[in-house]
Structure 1
Amino acid sequence: MTAAAEPTTLLDRYRAYRVRRWLVREKQIAGMLPGWRTTRRRRTLVVITIAALGLMFLAGVLCAFGLGWAALLGGLAALVFLPAWTMVRIVADAQDNAPADTLDELEFAQRETARSLGLTITQVLAVFPVMYLVWSGALFPDADASRTAYAGGVMALATLLAGGCAPAMILAWTKSDPEPED
């Protein structure tokens, strides 16, 4: 008898390991935050996450104009973002990062669509901080380099996080309410 059921390549073994790890994680988060799994509450978490990312980007813009206190605003935004983002992932069942083997056809299609939108969001939004960094260096060579780098870095971080978080936020926003238990 051959061991055809067992993965043979490194990639196959990693894929199988990832599925096993995912199933354990899925069981861990399945019962978490039951009161936050309604459509209204999930959407509230998504709005809070977007607002925190927007505030982080705004902090970068304000720092670009020399307002040093805006760095505190960015820190506050990060403190709001982290728990909100964690909660979004939990109530969306973290399907944005689920292995393909654990999803049915509809969930797979929804995940791929959300990932595609996330990539588009990343590409569109990242243009702004990159152009700021390029043009500020070219047009204002005597500007404070550390302030320019910090401001551009915060703006870039906010845009990359927005694009990276977009798939989970899209899935959380569009997911239907859980079926009531009998």
Structure 2
Amino acid sequence: MTAAAEPSTLLDRYQAYRVRRWLAREKQLAGMLPGWRTRGRRRALVITVAVALSALFAAGVMCAFGLEWAALAGGLSALIFLPSWTMVRIVSHAQDNAPAETLDELEMAQRETARSIGLTITQSLCIVPVMYLIYSGALFPEADAFRTAYAGGVMLLATLLAGGCAPAMILAWSNPEPEPEG
């Protein structure tokens, strides 16, 4: 190998490492969950993730109103979210986080569009819990600080997760049926 072909900067070396790691992970996950790779099943997983995140946000809202048992509902929604989110990532080939060198032009355009939408979702949804935290402290200083912080934190977690998960959810929802093997 010539010196010109070797990555020269720290960022170049990191990007090359990231590509190698992603390709190895893709190879490892390629055969997992073959029955879940159809468009209908992927969409069911996306709906499950969206419902779990909505339930997590609702649990935060209920905690804000003093319903202490709602924390259990938040925990249950997190237990539903984690495996369904992992499955979405597996069946969508983690395209939302793939290094640019591993994608073709169409996949790159789809990924960038999904990421842009995800950022917009994050910014839009996070306004609600942030405003809750700001105004509940300013307008109701006598309110229980722990309950206010917990409720706002749970709502903010749900909105950040929704925005962060949105690119993979969009790609899993919109990608066509996989090519039949054979």
Q: TM over 0.5, yes or no?
A: yes
Structure 2 equivalent of residue 176 of structure 1? 176
CA–CA separation in structure 2 for the residues paired with 1:33 and 1:134:
44
Structure 2 equivalent of residue 34 of structure 1? 34
**1:10, CA displacement in angstroms?**
0.4
Aligned letter for 1:181?
E
User: Is 1:140 aligned with 2:140?
Assistant: yes
**1:180, CA displacement in angstroms?**
1.1
1:116-139 C-alpha deviation (Å, 9 max, x unpaired): 000000000000000000010011
CA–CA separation in structure 2 for the residues paired with 1:181 and 1:92:
17
Structure 1 equivalent of residue 108 of structure 2? 108
Where do residues 13-162 of structure 1 align in structure 2 (5 Å cutoff)? 13-162=13-162
1:65-103 C-alpha deviation (Å, 9 max, x unpaired): 000000000000000000000000000000100000000
CA–CA separation in structure 1 for the residues paired with 2:124 and 2:66:
26
CA–CA separation in structure 1 for the residues paired with 2:159 and 2:181:
39
DSSP-derived class of the 1:143 partner? coil
**1:3, CA displacement in angstroms?**
1.1
> TM-score, structure 2 length as denominator?
0.99
Structure 2 equivalent of residue 7 of structure 1? 7
DSSP-derived class of the 2:179 partner? coil
- The share of aligned pairs that are identical, in percent, is 77
* Equivalences, count: 182
CA–CA separation in structure 2 for the residues paired with 1:178 and 1:162:
26
CA–CA separation in structure 1 for the residues paired with 2:149 and 2:21:
39
Aligned letter for 2:22?
W
Q: Displaced runs of 4+ in structure 1, greater than 4 A?
A: none
1:139-175 C-alpha deviation (Å, 9 max, x unpaired): 1000000000000000000000000000000000001
**Cα RMSD, aligned residues only:** 0.8
CA–CA separation in structure 1 for the residues paired with 2:29 and 2:105:
22
CA–CA separation in structure 2 for the residues paired with 1:53 and 1:36:
21
Structure 2 gaps, min length 5: none
**1:181, CA displacement in angstroms?**
1.8
Decide whether aligned partners of structure 1 residues 24 and 2 sit closer, same or farther in structure 2, where only a CA change above 3 A counts.
Answer: closer
DSSP-derived class of the 1:93 partner? coil
